[in-house]
Structure 1
């Protein structure tokens, strides 16, 4: 089966840019575009959406907490109705930019602390899914398999797509190792390539404690802000192609 390769893009703000969006768009099949809450701004959103559309890359709304200062990596104690409204706002804004660029938002993926919180917090997971369902209940939600987000999507009849991370360390529970933990972020090209192949071909990953974790993802993520992200993405794509793994977006461009 084909596998999707996604990356977080559009994570600059104003004159400050993070990562090489243009180069990554030549490698990935799906782009998780920041929607202005944890990173990004209208000009960046529109620029990245137009560039993705021109390359046939699927556009996903990477929704996050309203936390520019913390890059969305700080968990916020937020009421469910407020979180759902924030997600809806971000989704609509990015979809407008995507339409202006000749495409549409094809899926939704939470970012950072919201991603990790929605994996285990049924209330926040349901709030995210409620916003997606209110906007377009055919939009897939991208996240960790076996998560509260997956359960919430299933309960609401919203499609859920399982992903795994080629450049992140895993716990034996199948959750991502917290940033700051030894081995939480992988930057070594051979290590990232080996992990990507294991995930795409065998559907499993080895946790930090050595335990095997079954994942079976439909999409692999590489972070756009990881040091050497472009080289990592190119190496992963080449290795997957050499191994006979077809690459294609899980949602149409």
Structure 2
């Protein structure tokens, strides 16, 4: 199981995340492309940091929502969404090439990620866009009980997928993430480490109601926006190494 994290989300004088502290423990860096966070200087700095630590890089595109940090759904037409995705992926890809880095996948951010998982039409647009990009890229999706359906959709487009689980998020009984509006949606450190241990040992998570849910997981998402989170990532890295 690989370890991925959303990075490069600082914007101007606004600092988001402890990227330099987190990067040494990662396998994959999901780099913001400017629509929810990130700016040209931050993008280039993050790409160079990933190259320094030999970390695989992916584009982390979002709805055009800097004010809301990409956490608000937007009713874009398929054409608008396709163009927004291409614009962001190409921007990161171009900057990556100048720093000797090769981007290898796409992981949508925030509300776009949630909408992609819940709405087949949005997911189809995302899949078609990534599949049609100028070079082969994987798409990162949430691991849910619908994995076979998602593989079938991607296969029809010749698109490869990576399925991810979340270390610090509680799962609803349907396999989706429990809404952040509900109590217990984000695990504390003890629950997060217990969930990671369960995933590595049994390939399952325990849902909000106590049910056991089997998941097919390629990569685990962690968040390192504070010192405690960075320390937890160190411990998660050790759990994965032991597994």
Query: 1:122·1:152 contact (CA, 8 Å) conserved in 2?
Result: no
Q: Which runs of 5+ in 2 are unaligned?
A: none
Runs of 4+ in 1 over 6 A off after TM superposition: none
Query: 2:105·2:140 contact (CA, 8 Å) conserved in 1?
Result: yes
Which of 134, 138, 141 is the aligned partner of 2:139?
141
Asked if 1:169 is matched to 2:167, the reply is: no
Correspondence for 1:239: 239
Asked if 1:97 is matched to 2:95, the reply is: yes
Query: 2:224·2:233 contact (CA, 8 Å) conserved in 1?
Result: no
Which deviates the most, 196-205 or 226-235? 226-235
Q: Using the alignment, how far apart are the partners of 2:223 and 2:155 within structure 1?
A: 27
Q: Using the alignment, how far apart are the partners of 1:41 and 1:121 within structure 2?
A: 29
Q: Using the alignment, how far apart are the partners of 1:55 and 1:73 within structure 2?
A: 29
TM-superposed deviation, 1:115 = 0.6
Instruction: Give the 3 Å change call, closer, same or farther, for CA 224–76 of structure 1 in structure 2.
Output: farther
Query: 1:163·1:218 contact (CA, 8 Å) conserved in 2?
Result: yes
Correspondence for 1:230: 230
> What secondary structure sits across from 1:110 in the alignment?
coil
Q: Which has the higher contact order (CA 8 A, sep 6+)?
A: 1
Instruction: Give the 3 Å change call, closer, same or farther, for CA 177–196 of structure 1 in structure 2.
Output: same
- TM-score after normalising by structure 1: 0.90
Q: Which runs of 5+ in 1 are unaligned?
A: 246-253
Correspondence for 2:159: 158
Correspondence for 1:182: 183
Query: 1:137·1:157 contact (CA, 8 Å) conserved in 2?
Result: no
Count of aligned pairs between the two proteins: 240
Query: 1:107·1:141 contact (CA, 8 Å) conserved in 2?
Result: yes
Query: 1:129·1:149 contact (CA, 8 Å) conserved in 2?
Result: no
Correspondence for 1:12: 10
Q: Using the alignment, how far apart are the partners of 2:94 and 2:53 within structure 1?
A: 18
Q: Using the alignment, how far apart are the partners of 2:23 and 2:238 within structure 1?
A: 15
Superposition CA RMSD, Å: 1.6
Which of 69, 75, 78 is the aligned partner of 1:80?
78
> What secondary structure sits across from 1:156 in the alignment?
coil
Asked if 1:209 is matched to 2:227, the reply is: no
Correspondence for 1:197: 197
Q: Using the alignment, how far apart are the partners of 2:97 and 2:135 within structure 1?
A: 18
Correspondence for 1:124: 122
TM-superposed deviation, 1:102 = 1.4
Query: 1:19·1:229 contact (CA, 8 Å) conserved in 2?
Result: no
Q: Using the alignment, how far apart are the partners of 2:150 and 2:114 within structure 1?
A: 10
Q: Using the alignment, how far apart are the partners of 1:50 and 1:139 within structure 2?
A: 20
The C-alpha deviation readout for 1:198-240, integer Å capped at 9, x for no partner, is 1122111011111111112010001233673211211111222
